[in-house]
Chains A and B, each alone.
Chain A
């Protein structure tokens, strides 16, 4: 896959998009599914508008990042804004963030079933 010209991580652009903020909401995992809870409204930042449009159906954080061609960290900041004002909800992954415990057998059986049916 070729990278698009805007996603060079150019600090100036990122600074503008996030209004100078750099601390992202770490609760958003790469595969947290985001759902819009409202329509975009007039005067919203264009990135917020695009996120709300994308998330009419559940959409993973990583897909939002790819679609908007912005780094994950920037997307987490933008999602934090929307979450704070109730414009989105987040469906976080069930799996613990630690590798110390294995996921339960019931979950893995569901995964296996899904894969075998491909």
Chain B
């Protein structure tokens, strides 16, 4: 089997095809400290792409509450369990990737979810978070457990928005015996050819993130297309621009050794290393990078985001001291355009449009505050708060 280099795990690994990186890799950053699970992203995606027959329970974008929320049910704990122990030696992953752990006769270690695993997205997953009075002192909850669970950890949780990671080494692509899945040379976006797919669902089985979905009406599998018609016009995808929490930024990402410190994606991912891949140990080199939730126990974060997570949490906690870091993070949700560079100008950050090189956006560090007098002299009336 050919060897390819995966920088996220710091080593070469087995992959069924020779390594061929795209000319540019489209990537995302999601700041998990800011997501409020409003599901606007989910609905933005659904109305844009998956409102048709056969797509009823298909969520190319979903937001789940960790640690007990999953869509489809148990997606990550199941594959983590199948993979077994995952060890790191510093920044090098010494365990097996999903390609290396594949059984004989399979391209990748995986499983096909059961039908009911897709049946109840989000149902009940928040019920166990610390609202109970168990262990309460004088009627005040101590936050030590969940409403239904007796043996759980201290009360913490976070929302995890998920889309296809447009992986550098996609397991969906590696699993498709018909070669119906391709990774575009121009931007690294991974697509299922809808004229060629025969609905075998080996991609559904092979993708550890469970991002391809079977459509029982067309009998083909479908997945997130990174809103490529937008991207081709220099615009960020729907789930990014619609995000209420402004937690998302999307653009092109360089390889670590070619990082441009003035490019917001490169700067946050490679230079500051504040945004990290989800389950890098799977070996797919996923291209959605998460700013980890800083209040979550480090063991859990390490399993989910790898050994760089502690430094990332520290960097994020200190972001208020670093104007450039703050500036880059203020670009999230500030423009529909894909940016190629940013710079700080006095107390503003300026984002440069990737396509035309012009100024796409200018965001002040602090929004100006205006205090209006209680009485409006112009109309001769008091300003009551009657809204």
Instruction: Tell whether A and B belong to one assembly.
Output: no
Q: A residues near B, CB below 8 A?
A: none
